[in-house]
Structure 1
Amino acid sequence: MALIQTSLIWVAYAIAIFILLAISSVFVFIYQTPRDRAASVTTVCIFTMSALLATVLLLPVDVALVSSTTSSKWGIKKDWATPDRVDHILFTLKIVYYTLFSLDALLCLLVAPFTYFWYEEYDDAAAEDGTQTVAGRFWGAFKYTVVFIVLILILFLVGFFVPAAKNLKHSPHRDLHYFKDLLTENHGERALTFALGLLITVGTIVYVIYTASGLALLPVAMIKSAPSISAPTLVENTSAQLEQNRERQRQLEGRNEGRDGGLDSRDRRELESLVREERTLIRRERLAAEASGEERGWLIKSWIKMEAVFRPLKLLGGYILMILVLFIWVSMLITSIDKAKNSVCKASCGYLLGHINIFQPVNYIFVKSAKVFPIDYVIFLLLVLFFFCASVVGIATVGIRFLWVMIFRIRRRHTSPQALLLATVLLTLIVLAINYSVAMVVAPQYATFGPQTYCDRSPKHPGESPDCSNHKNAIKSCTELAENPVAREICTPSVISTFINRVTVNFPFFGVVAFWAQFAFLAVYLAVFITTLFRTPKLSTDETDADLEEEEEEGLLASTGRRFNATWQDITGRAKTQGTSRYGTTNGAGSGRE
């Protein structure tokens, strides 16, 4: 029975890996420019994103495996969960974690930079005349990658020799069994812990900037995908504006016929403006006709109407996501306040929280759902993908910048290979920070012990399991501070929580930065969210013609009615006539100016 349960858990993880591979592939092919694709860049990006998502999605597998060794109902170890079997499960998980973390670090710090320079070294002219060889291109890319190799060596050497956990020796909790297990004496393990802590710290800074913004903007992106003017209405309005434009041009040309000097300067400027406007309106008319399915087959028209039918679900989904993010935001705030107030050793151990003191709803949902695998796994998968998609939206909106200077823009079907590689590196760092945030802030008890409980009673005879069958109130949830010998024997912390807590205990600086960055994350999200309520930020669009993008200065919520009206008009195919002026519609549906 135990073997079947363990096998099913790993099978669920394997299925998730295939799903992640498909998601990573879709992401890369959607964002990269079709005209400038490189097989090496595509392969590295897909593989890197699959590996980093596989790392964070190992957490529920970790929790499920360690939780399967105990009976949550009675708070005792299962008969098959001997110390050797438990050690074997933990050893297997450690190998998988060490492999994935090392792979993520190498992909981020070595493979991605090498691929970047490998792509940059390609020369079309040299490749055509045969003067550029694979060996020469490899050496050219390797010369620049040496800097990153030196960086990796310095990183591990510093971690190998740096002293750790000096302040913990003076902590009143230094004798706790759980803390003793976190202190590392092995220099190789300490080097890996230091490297992981540094990458999490750097990733947390990126996470605060991009993921916090993306969580506020992702629902907005879903809502804004529904236009506030229907395609039939846009076609009619654009045609009316185009006719008005041409009529004005005819008036100007007719008024100046026969003049010796031709048009005066004012009329000439107006005519030039009208000509530019005419070109814009012609492009807009063509795109609007394509969007409405005019001059197309019935199949295309049916597909467009089906998209319009399901558009309200996307609109409602955007508002549901807004509520969900606020729910997660409140839960993160509760945990952060709990850590700041009730941490057992404050900054000396990176604000490690011994047990939850304030009810936290997201953590409660995960702990309860973990009793029936794979319910918690599905919820966790959706949560991670939500954070990942929010990070992508944040990077696409903010762009890849150095301070205030824009280096690359991330847009669908317009992202260069270099920008895609840099975005992949940023996502790798972000996912490491998400690993910390989910495990330590979003659902700390779930990520550490899952639904594990222990019977807080001593056994009647040595070697026997404690009996709580008649004392249900003696069954307690496992925590880091449980010093009952029975609890130490029954409760098994997850491997990922041990890794992260080992980073914060041995190198408290990393833990302090990661902890206080959560407050910065909450503040950035709140600022962007409030901004979206009053003035919708301009998101990067995928339109062929930027003139089709609407300039929406009003609040997002105020435009909801117009979006539903536009959806209904797209379904029925009937346009709502709107008044037009010299430069466009009177209600702001579109502007004829270029």
Structure 2
Amino acid sequence: MALIQTSLIWVAYAVALGILLVVSAIFVFLYQTPRDRAASITGVCIFTMSSLLATVLLMPVDIALVSSTTASKLGRKKDWATPDKVESIVYTLQIVYYTLYSLDAVLCLLVVPFTYFYYEEYDEAETEEGTQTLGTRLWGAFKYTIAFIIIVLTLFLVGFFIPFGKAMKNGKHMDLDYFKHLLSQNHGERALSFSLGLLITIGTIIYIIYTASGLALLPVALIKSAPSISAPSLAQNTASQLDSNRERQRQLEGRNEGREGGLDSRDRRELEALVREERTLVRRERLAAESGGEGRPFLIRAWIKVEAVFRPLKLIGGFLLIIITLIIWTSMLITGIDKAKNSVCGVKCGYVLGHINIFQPVNYIMVLSSKVFPIDYIIFLLVVMLFFCASVVGIAVVGIRFLWITIFKIRKGHTSPQALLLATVLLTLIVLAINYSIAMMVAPQYATFGSQTYCNRPARHPGEQPDCTHHRSRIISCSELADNPAAYDVCTPSVVSAFLNRITVNFPFFGVIDFWAQFAFLGVYLIVFVATLFRTPKMDEEQLDADLEEEEEEGLLASTGRRFNATWQDITGRSKKRQANYGTVDGGVDEDNDETPGVGRGRDNY
């Protein structure tokens, strides 16, 4: 029975990994520009994002496995859960965690930078001349990556020798077994804890900027972003306006042929206005074609169709997400207040909380659902995907910046390879921060003990199970500061909670920064959410090129009127007018003139 339950938990994790691989691939193909696609960058980005999401989604597997060793209704260990068996489960989880954490760090600090420099080293002219080979590109990329190798070695060495929370040993709370085992005695483990603690802290700063903004923008963007005009209708209308524009230009040029002075001032002004309008119409036509999936890979075209099918549900989904995000925000605030007020050691151990003192809705729902696997796994998967999608939205809106200077923009189908790699690094650091936030703030009791309980009436003899049949006995949920010796024989903390608490206990300055940063996250969310209620967010994927007229284009693509007709046209891929005039022609070639839309007739330079 134990083997079957454990196997089912790992099978659920394998299924989730398959889903994550598809999600990562969709993200990369959806945002990268088709013209500059590189197999190395695509592969690295997909693998890196799959790895970091796999790290976060290992948490419910961890919780389910340690919870499976306890009979929650009886408050004792199951018969098969001997100390050796429990230790084997914990050891296996530790190996998987350390492998994934190390892989995330290597990908973020070494592999992605090397791929970035390898792409930058490419020179088409030198390749054609034969002066640049694969070896020269690899050596050029390696030279720039040496700096990152030095950074990784420095982090490891500092973590290896840095003193850790020595003052904690003398604290009265260190008399408790749960906190004693958190103090790292192994130098290698301490080095990894320090390195990841630093990355989590850096990621938390990025998490405040991007994830908080995205979490506030995502629900409102769903409500306000569905277009009132479909891509086929926009393409048809734009093509008609473009034909009229160019016909008028030809009339003006024909009227003034042979005139010595050329165009008069009035005609010249009108022609200049027509040329500017033509540029806008050409760009709009190109956007409509890309929005409809023309010239895009099959996966992207299929995604566009699916998105169009579910577009009417955006309004309902947006309001539902507002409620969910507000519940999560409230839960994080409650946990933050509880930790600040009731932490067993405060600043000295990074505000580790002994047990929850205030009712917290998300934690209650997660603990309750953990009694029936995989309900908690599904809920946790949805929460992680919400934070991840919010991070993507935040990066797309804010862009990749240095202070107030925008370095790269993240846009659907227009993201350069360099920007995609930098976005992957940001998402890696953000997901490490999300891992901390969910485990320590969103659902702390669930992340630590899951559904485990213990009987407050300990066993009378060594090796005997506790007896909870006595009328004075009670079954109590496990917590870090359980005041009964029986709890230490029954409750097994999850590996992820032990690892994160080990970071905060051994290096309290990381814990203090990460803890108070959560309040900054809540503040940024609140400010952006209130501001968004009164002003539509300018999403890059909802805009045309930067030099288009914003009001006109947002009126076409971001109106919130009735959209069912536009949705049907996006699903079928053609407008009613186009169907009547052109039959089955819905691609990029016009039957009347055999020209590609967006290419000017007689005025190609514009």
Shorter-chain TM range is 0.7 to 0.9
Q: Does 1:207 align with 2:207?
A: yes
Matched with 1:93 is: 93
Relative distance call for 1:186 and 1:258 in structure 2 (3 A) is closer
Q: Does 1:173 align with 2:177?
A: no
Q: How does 1:149-168 map to 2 (within 5 A)?
A: 149-168=149-168
Report how far residue 469 of structure 1 moved. Answer: 2.8
Matched with 2:495 is: 495
Task: Pick which of 542-551 and 80-89 moved more.
Answer: 542-551
Relative distance call for 1:504 and 1:275 in structure 2 (3 A) is same
Report how far residue 39 of structure 1 moved. Answer: 1.8
Deviations 1:153-203 (A, max 9, x none): 111111111111134245331212111111112222111111111111011
- Aligned with 1:463: secondary structure? coil
Q: How does 1:278-427 map to 2 (within 5 A)?
A: 278-281=278-281, 284=284, 310-427=310-427
Matched with 2:140 is: 140
> Is the 8 Å Cα contact of residues 280 and 548 (structure 2) preserved in structure 1?
no
Q: How does 1:440-459 map to 2 (within 5 A)?
A: 440-459=440-459
Relative distance call for 1:340 and 1:133 in structure 2 (3 A) is same
Task: Pick which of 492-501 and 545-554 moved more.
Answer: 545-554
Relative distance call for 1:136 and 1:471 in structure 2 (3 A) is farther
> Is the 8 Å Cα contact of residues 159 and 193 (structure 1) preserved in structure 2?
yes
> Is the 8 Å Cα contact of residues 229 and 562 (structure 1) preserved in structure 2?
no
Relative distance call for 1:19 and 1:86 in structure 2 (3 A) is same
Relative distance call for 1:248 and 1:42 in structure 2 (3 A) is closer
Matched with 1:590 is: none
Letter of the 1:340 counterpart: A
Q: Distance in 1 between matches of 2:550 and 2:19?
A: 35
Task: Pick which of 422-431 and 462-471 moved more.
Answer: 462-471
Matched with 2:130 is: 130
> Is the 8 Å Cα contact of residues 455 and 468 (structure 2) preserved in structure 1?
yes
- Aligned with 2:269: secondary structure? helix
Letter of the 1:175 counterpart: D
> Is the 8 Å Cα contact of residues 176 and 483 (structure 1) preserved in structure 2?
no
Report how far residue 551 of structure 1 moved. Answer: 2.9
Q: Distance in 2 between matches of 1:290 and 1:138?
A: 35
Q: Distance in 2 between matches of 1:182 and 1:564?
A: 57
Report how far residue 135 of structure 1 moved. Answer: 2.4
Q: Distance in 1 between matches of 2:193 and 2:567?
A: 53
Report how far residue 49 of structure 1 moved. Answer: 0.9
Relative distance call for 1:500 and 1:549 in structure 2 (3 A) is farther
Q: Distance in 2 between matches of 1:551 and 1:544?
A: 11
Matched with 1:510 is: 510
Q: Distance in 2 between matches of 1:187 and 1:518?
A: 29
Relative distance call for 1:567 and 1:134 in structure 2 (3 A) is closer
Q: Distance in 2 between matches of 1:132 and 1:198?
A: 38
Letter of the 1:410 counterpart: I
- Aligned with 1:182: secondary structure? coil
Q: Distance in 2 between matches of 1:169 and 1:149?
A: 34
Relative distance call for 1:406 and 1:544 in structure 2 (3 A) is closer
Report how far residue 458 of structure 1 moved. Answer: 2.5
Q: Distance in 1 between matches of 2:351 and 2:43?
A: 39
> Is the 8 Å Cα contact of residues 543 and 553 (structure 2) preserved in structure 1?
no
Report how far residue 433 of structure 1 moved. Answer: 0.5
Q: Distance in 2 between matches of 1:374 and 1:33?
A: 38
Q: Distance in 2 between matches of 1:487 and 1:274?
A: 79
Deviations 1:354-413 (A, max 9, x none): 111111111111101111111111111111111111111111111111111111111122
Matched with 2:486 is: 486
Task: Pick which of 207-216 and 434-443 moved more.
Answer: 207-216
Relative distance call for 1:289 and 1:264 in structure 2 (3 A) is same
Q: Distance in 2 between matches of 1:133 and 1:246?
A: 48
Task: Pick which of 394-403 and 282-291 moved more.
Answer: 282-291
- Aligned with 2:551: secondary structure? coil
Matched with 2:81 is: 81
Matched with 1:46 is: 46
- Aligned with 2:454: secondary structure? strand
Report how far residue 537 of structure 1 moved. Answer: 1.9
Report how far residue 344 of structure 1 moved. Answer: 1.0
Identity of aligned residues (%): 76
Root mean square deviation of aligned Cα: 3.5
- Aligned with 1:406: secondary structure? strand
Deviations 1:458-511 (A, max 9, x none): 324443212113548611000000142110000000000000000001100000
- Aligned with 1:92: secondary structure? helix
Matched with 2:598 is: none
- Aligned with 1:110: secondary structure? helix
Give me the TM-score of the superposition, normalised by structure 2: 0.84
Q: How does 1:63-82 map to 2 (within 5 A)?
A: 63-82=63-82
Report how far residue 245 of structure 1 moved. Answer: 7.3
> Is the 8 Å Cα contact of residues 227 and 560 (structure 2) preserved in structure 1?
no
> Is the 8 Å Cα contact of residues 541 and 549 (structure 1) preserved in structure 2?
no
Matched with 2:18 is: 18
Relative distance call for 1:434 and 1:308 in structure 2 (3 A) is closer
Task: Pick which of 272-281 and 544-553 moved more.
Answer: 544-553
Give me the TM-score of the superposition, normalised by structure 1: 0.86
Q: Distance in 2 between matches of 1:363 and 1:52?
A: 23
